[in-house]
Structure 1
Amino acid sequence: MERWLALELASTIRHDGDGGVADDLATVPGTTHWIRAQQDLLTGLVPAGEPAADENLRLDLIELRQAVRALFARAVSPAPPSPADAHRLMAADRALAHLNATAAREPVAPQLDWPADEAPAPRLLSTQNDPHVRLVAALARAAIDFLTGPHRAQLRSCTAPRCVRYFVKNHGRQEWCKPSCANRARSARHYQRHHKAGDGQPAV
């Protein structure tokens, strides 16, 4: 399944399996673990050897995530946003300003690599030496690429009970982010129909 850095960042807020919401960026070790899990997506965007997190980086990532999730909520509108933070979303103009400012923290220039007997490939030339700045700037650029690309139109907020994920719709009939959410949503619908019928109300 295709993965997107912006979606991975937004999904660091997730259902914890027990009816609550978990935050992968709640602690410095958790943030380091999340960064390392994105190593394949960060290749070519940040220097080899992903940086370990500290408290400043953790807070930077949380603020960037708030901006990304606010813009995801705008992208799926008029459908409802993820319920995880729908009541406290960053204002859209502030989210845009923060995303752009974060991306600008690392000035980069595109370069062409073309080794002999290999396909040409782009890379970004940067004079920024701080790995933490490079990481958050790369995540901001990834969010800009996602929100200006073709997948934005397929972005959805999962409506299954207790789910708080955004996902990219892969086919025309997809309503939920994963099969377990589909099963939970169908079970909830069945319960509601049965409950209404049991109360003497017509089942829907």
Structure 2
Amino acid sequence: MSDDRLALALAVTLRHDGNGGVADDLATPDGLTAWVRELAEPLRDALDAQDFTADEAALDAIRALRAAVRALFARAVRPGPPSSADAHRLLPEDLAVERLNAAAARAPGAPRLEWPEDGAPVVRAARPPGSTDTDRLVAALARDAIAFLAGPDRERLRACPAPRCVRYFVKDHPRQEWCKPSCGNRARVARHHRRHRALS
């Protein structure tokens, strides 16, 4: 997954568990801690991910943001169906937008110039004093979701149609139909079984 798709990384923390159910990578504070640490590089402006340890409040904030992002992803994939994980429990769109904007405002952002002696200047986000790691994490993910939804990737966003898959993905090439090859295999096997049953 591309480093510039944090919103998509957040959305796909709900996934097929391989047994017909849904797994949640953010089910516990430890799960959130591990997920944030995996995204250390793209989150580097928001916080030092290797020092981040989630608590219940951080988990609740990120899961609430994820619900808003997934609701807005469901809107973005219309007229196609949303992810099957969302179809029965989507937030109202106005509440999702409100929640996303409130999350983005949790930590004020300002550009900061860094210019190392042996390198080119780089713009980073300043870490405002008084904001917590959770505030900065929530704000960074929400701002990425806003940029994603207002940008060109939104037009290529799809809900994976494979049986039991609950993921969203960005269609990166014209022939891409599923979020990953294993979903394509599962869809082909399901199609084969349907045809076989129809002939029996």
Unaligned runs of 5+ in 2: none
Q: Does 1:171 align with 2:146?
A: no
Give the corresponding residue for 1:28.
29
> Is residue 124 from structure 1 mapped to residue 122 from structure 2 by the alignment?
no
**Counterpart contact for 1:10–1:65, Cα < 8 Å:** yes
2:198 — aligned with what? 196
Aligned to 1:114: 115
Larger Rg: 1
> Which one is further off, 166-175 or 126-135?
126-135
- Which residue number in structure 2 is paired with residue 142 of structure 1? 144
Contact 1:46/1:138 (CA < 8 Å) preserved in 2? Answer: no
* Correspondences of 1:72-91 after superposition (within 5 Å): 72-91=73-92
- Computed over aligned residues only, the root mean square deviation of the Cα atoms, in angstroms, reads 1.5
Equivalent-residue separation in structure 2 for 1:34 and 1:172 (angstroms): 30
Contact 1:107 1:128 in 2 (8 A): no
Distance 1:58 1:48 in 2: 15
What is the number of residues matched between the two proteins? 198
Structure 1 contact 160–182 (Cα < 8 Å) conserved:
yes
CA contact (8 A) 1:7 1:166 kept: yes
Q: Give, in angstroms, the shift of residue 48 of structure 1.
A: 5.7
**In 2, Cα distance between the equivalents of 1:193 and 1:77?**
29
Structure 1's unaligned 5+ residue stretches are: 199-204
Secondary structure at 2:18 match in 1? coil
Is residue 21–residue 84 contact of structure 1 (8 Å, CA) maintained in 2? yes
| TM-score, normalisation: structure 1 | 0.91
Cα distance in 2 for partners of 1:18, 1:81 equals 21
Supply the distance in 2 between the matched residues of 1:159 and 1:175 (Cα, whole angstroms): 8
Q: For 1:128 and 1:93, locate their aligned partners in 2 and report how far apart those are by CA, in whole Å.
A: 30
CA deviation string 1:98-118 (max 9, x = no partner): 100110111111223333442
